With several copies, the nearest count.
Chain A
Amino acid sequence: MSGNKVVSEILRDYIYNSLEEGKRIDGRGYDEYRKVSIETNVIQSAEGSARVHIGNTDVLAGIKMTIGSPFPDTPNVGVMTTNAELIPMASPTFESGPPDAESIELSRVVDRGLREGHAVDMEKLCIKEGELVWIMFIDVHILDYDGNLFDAAALAAMAALASATVPASQFADQYPDYDLGEDFPMPINNYPIMSTFVKIKDVILVDPALDEETVADARLSVSTDPEGRVRAMQKGLNGGFSYAEIQDIVRKATEKGNELRDILMKSL
């Protein structure tokens, strides 16, 4: 990622040395997030939207909704599609073109957190079983990339959902044979939150900044719900975790999930 090899070795040494002294290079505690801010309803053309900053990482999520057929094997629930775009605006390392493996992983992990966390009551997005359901697109646009996209994207997507309105009245003309009702708030069911940790040498850090990601050995993202239940996990990078480390991370993820959820609830 961070280009030049010499630069990246110097960076690694610097981070290693700091950690040996028990410090992160930006002065944070190991279990401390950067400043997290959430602003909802920032895009009027979207049914719901949120812009999330985690430090300098800047992410914009928007919800669009339309009406269509359900999948044959799930006739009574709406359809949800999550897509994250690592647009080249956000980083010199992101390229134009079809989504690469990193974008696809990000999209799928964000999707899994929301889906398995039952963020939305998808049955309430069924209009007529087997015939017509709401189709929901969650699009996450990465605007400025300074590490920890997983948490920023998941948080922005959750906030956008929580602030969204299902635009039923707009579609009344198009579907005269169905009772779509009035516009209604997105039927939120749960607030799963993703929290990501990396391992650098033997140290576990939450919310890695880009420089930390660059030298990290292993990464684990854990999505938890308000009751502290685990809803999704994704390990990344080519290092390994011990079982004890994973237990430790899962426990901390619940704590951190609660902290971020508080910030989210205040933004709504």
Chain B
Amino acid sequence: MGMKMDIELIDKNGLRIDGRKPEELRPIKIEAGVLKRADGSAYVEWGKNKILAAVYGPREAHPRHLQKSNKAIVQVRYNMAPFSVGDRKRPGPDRRSVEISKITSEALEHVVMTELFPRSSIDVFIEVLQANAGTRCAGLTAASVALADAGIPMKDLVVGVASGKVDDVVVLDLGKEEDNYGQADVPMGYIPRTGEIVLLQMDGDMTQEELFKAMEMSMDAAKYIYGLQKEALRKRYEMIAREETEEIEGVQ
């Protein structure tokens, strides 16, 4: 947040640098079941972000000392491909990735019915193939869909979405320039049905009222994204059903 620069992020018409209105999301596309090997998977395009999520499990947690006798653990590995950003990122986890993996894991553990799979691990891999601000929220959104695609019992889907402040205006879903030169960013993990907030971070400078307004914007937008998640899963189930019908027909 807050690199200084003579850059006008909100124009005289109140529009943002990419032409969006303050409460407008970037275009979002969600697809479920995009990988063959993984137990579940999802692909999310969110503005210029391109993100894959894959789920393996429940499987035996290892190393063993991680096992919990009464429930599964959800292990998330958020990773950026070396070519996903302007300057090549060195392979392997950096401190930022470790933090994002941790909070994403905590958010997902809230909705996965971990008590059904003692001693197990449910492993979620989020690969950022192209990054353009908001990857942690897009990754959380993708991971939820991948978990559902894997048939993991869940209380609900989690939606990731951010809001923030640029040029003293509260806006939804910061783009790259807004992220670099804006005043605040508030990534959130939200469950629209229950109203629970399971991931929340903020950095920047906001009054309480601005913060609350931003959170309300995110919660509204989450309902829309939740719809996209469910639609992606519906399409995936339809396709599986169609394939199965074809197989049966093929047999007959």
Contacts and interface: CB of A to CB of B under 8 A. Distances in A.
Q: Is the interface of B mostly helix, strand, loop or mixed?
A: mixed
Interface stretch (B6-14, B50-58, B241-249): B50-58
Contact of B79 (A87, A239, A243, A254): A87
A137 B90 CA distance: 10
B56 A238 contact: no
A243 B129 contact: no
B98 A236 contact: no
B48 interface: yes
B50 A238 contact: no
Given A101-B98, A230-B208, A243 B203 contact: no
B84 to A, nearest CB: 6
A interface, over-half SS: mixed
Interface string A216-259: 00001000000011111111111111110011001100100000
Interface string B185-204: 01000010011111111111
Contacts of B200: 220, 233-235, 241, 246
Contacts of A87: 79, 125, 127
A238 B106 contact: yes
A161 interface: no
Given A233-B201, A243-B215, A88 B77 contact: yes
Nearest to A210: B37
Nearest to A220: B200
A217 B99 CA distance: 19
B177 interface: no
A56 B196 CA distance: 33
Contact of B197 (A105, A137, A143, A240): A240
A231 B204 contact: yes
Given A64-B83, A238-B110, A243-B215, A101 B101 contact: yes
B48 A44 contact: yes
Contacts of B194: 240
A5 B70 CA distance: 10
A53 B14 CA distance: 45
A107 B196 contact: no
Interface string B212-233: 1001100100000000000000
Indicate the member of B77, B131, B204 with the most A CB atoms within 10 Å.
Answer: B204
Report, as a range, how many residues of chain B touch the other chain.
35 or more
Contacts of B95: 104, 107-108
A121 B208 CA distance: 24
A235 B102 contact: no
Contacts of B196: 240-242
Interface residues of A, number: 64
Given A56-B36, A235-B197, A239-B110, A230 B206 contact: yes
A28 B204 CA distance: 32
Given A91-B37, A230-B206, A141 B127 contact: yes
A116 B127 contact: no
B130 interface: yes
A246 B207 contact: no
A58 interface: yes
B88 A137 contact: yes
Given A88-B77, A242-B197, A112 B203 contact: yes
Interface string B114-132: 0000000001010101111
A243 B205 contact: no
A144 B2 contact: no
Nearest to B102: A101
Interface in B167-188: 186
A254 B208 CA distance: 9
B140 to A, nearest CB: 13
B113 interface: no
B150 interface: no
Contacts of A137: 82-83, 88
Given A101-B99, A229-B207, 10 more contacts: A63-B83, A64-B88, A88-B123, A101-B98, A229-B206, A230-B208, A235-B201, A237-B106, A239-B110, A240-B197
Chain A to chain B: the 5 pairs with minimum beta-carbon distance, closest first = A62-B83, A240-B196, A64-B88, A233-B202, A235-B200
Interface of B: 1-3, 35-38, 48, 50, 52, 54, 56, 59, 69, 77, 79, 81-88, 91-93, 95-96, 98-99, 101-103, 106-107, 109-110, 123, 125, 127, 129-132, 186, 191, 194-208, 211-212, 215-216, 219
8 contacts: A60-B81, A74-B3, A87-B125, A87-B127, A92-B59, A101-B101, A116-B205, A236-B106
